[in-house]
Structure 1
């Protein structure tokens, strides 16, 4: 008898501009579909300049059976500060929210409380800053905000922009533990584990990997990363 499991993926779309400098949202969506995930957390899902319209068109996403979670951003954006979240039909959404983050440049995080095959979980999608000092401030700000919410199993997922071992993040991210995900950047020859997941004590990773099948290596400068989790 198989155990219940949840597959989550994180993917920095680079605004759907590939390594060939072509903007191909259809190609980005092809990669997303191939992940076979229940929840996909996206970064750089919107174009950069205000009003930051979606780089990946809403219509195209919905035609492929994904539900786009709305975090209240104006101007047709897909998410919040470029962070977005897609869920499959197997996921029931209970609560959504966004978090403003400190830093030299505007940054934000998003979260969704959902019912899944493994029960209720909270998924936080984020894209941290380039400077270590601000990355640590941003993780601390996210955790402070989450403490104000009702407690539930919380998964952090996204582009942490951390080139090192991640010990600093581990030290400050109380209540969750980072799993050892593979290198995902740059997509043509990955050497850095920028895209990561952190899990609470009551969830365990059954497996994690990068998705390398074409067109993933050309569709963005990041490879998507997935993890399958279950209850301990």
Structure 2
């Protein structure tokens, strides 16, 4: 059993191109390092793409953090890839990746079984589409046992996270919230927006957990660095297994603003 909560971060890194249009994977790694996250779920990661100098961003970021990366290309053309990554220094087991029902740009998901002390945790990372009906189909697929139950016969404590492109008023969000807990609502404090990073207005990035996990804290990290490193702000949560006490946990560092919602096209 771990002696402290696990810190999990979800972050759309925008191909490591900041709001200042500067390409800098090292800056993304610096943002992550500051959080001391144990598990990092990244979206919009480039691997071998000419537009970002052919860098394997998943490997570079993981190397700078002294961690290992699992990468799934939602989009792959010749040697150029673009998709999602899960980075951690914790022991990992079964890995699953695959496409989701998509309209236009192909979307996918990546899940990794991670050993935490004497327990196993399933982390599912995704980046959903831009259309409401498309997102509903994608979320319905992810909520099926094939994704959330892992590879074994019994369900694992599970985190579903990523850029869901869905605000809390949307049908996609409500679908997930029927069976999973929103980390920003489970932890103390009001939920905060994650996009756009300079003037966050929408809560598009989410961490959902199954009922056998406890959320102690969740925070959107808004600093001078996070406002410029990507067009999304990172979302960090401290989670533990049910029955674990986090009395000695340190508070998350965060500077946040009010969350302003807008209508969504989910129907």
TM-score by length of 2: 0.75
Task: Work out which of the residue numbers 216, 232, 239 in structure 2 matches 1:229.
Answer: 239
Paired position in structure 1 for 2:116: 116
Give the superposition deviation at 1:179: 2.8
CA distance 1:154–1:160, shift in 2 (3 Å): same
Paired position in structure 1 for 2:70: 69
Unaligned segments of structure 2, at least 5 residues: 185-190, 243-267
CA displacement, residues 39-77 of structure 1 (integer Å, 9 cap, x when unaligned): 000000116968995562624531431211254887475
- Size of the aligned set, in residue pairs, is 226
Q: Which region of structure 1 is more displaced relative to structure 2, 206-215 or 53-62?
A: 53-62
Task: Work out which of the residue numbers 216, 222, 225 in structure 2 matches 1:206.
Answer: 216
Query: 1:36-51 to 2 correspondence within 5 Å?
Result: 36-46=36-46
CA distance 1:187–1:48, shift in 2 (3 Å): farther
| Cα pair 2:167 2:173 within 8 Å, conserved | no
Unaligned segments of structure 1, at least 5 residues: none
Task: Work out which of the residue numbers 211, 229, 233 in structure 2 matches 1:219.
Answer: 229
Paired position in structure 1 for 2:95: 96
User: What is the rounded CA distance, in whole Å, between the counterparts of 2:55 and 2:39 in structure 1?
Assistant: 19
Give the superposition deviation at 1:209: 0.3
Paired position in structure 1 for 2:15: 15
CA displacement, residues 95-129 of structure 1 (integer Å, 9 cap, x when unaligned): 11102101112110000011114721100000000
Paired position in structure 2 for 1:24: 24
TM-score by length of 1: 0.86
User: What is the rounded CA distance, in whole Å, between the counterparts of 1:40 and 1:118 in structure 2?
Assistant: 20
Structure with higher Rg: it is: 2
Q: Which region of structure 1 is more displaced relative to structure 2, 151-160 or 40-49?
A: 40-49
CA distance 1:18–1:70, shift in 2 (3 Å): closer
Give the superposition deviation at 1:178: 2.1
- RMSD (Å), alpha carbons: 2.7
| Cα pair 1:10 1:226 within 8 Å, conserved | yes
Q: Which region of structure 1 is more displaced relative to structure 2, 38-47 or 54-63?
A: 54-63
CA distance 1:136–1:167, shift in 2 (3 Å): closer
Give the superposition deviation at 1:218: 0.4
- Deviating beyond 3 angstroms after TM superposition, the runs of 4 or more aligned structure 1 residues are 47-55, 70-77, 172-175
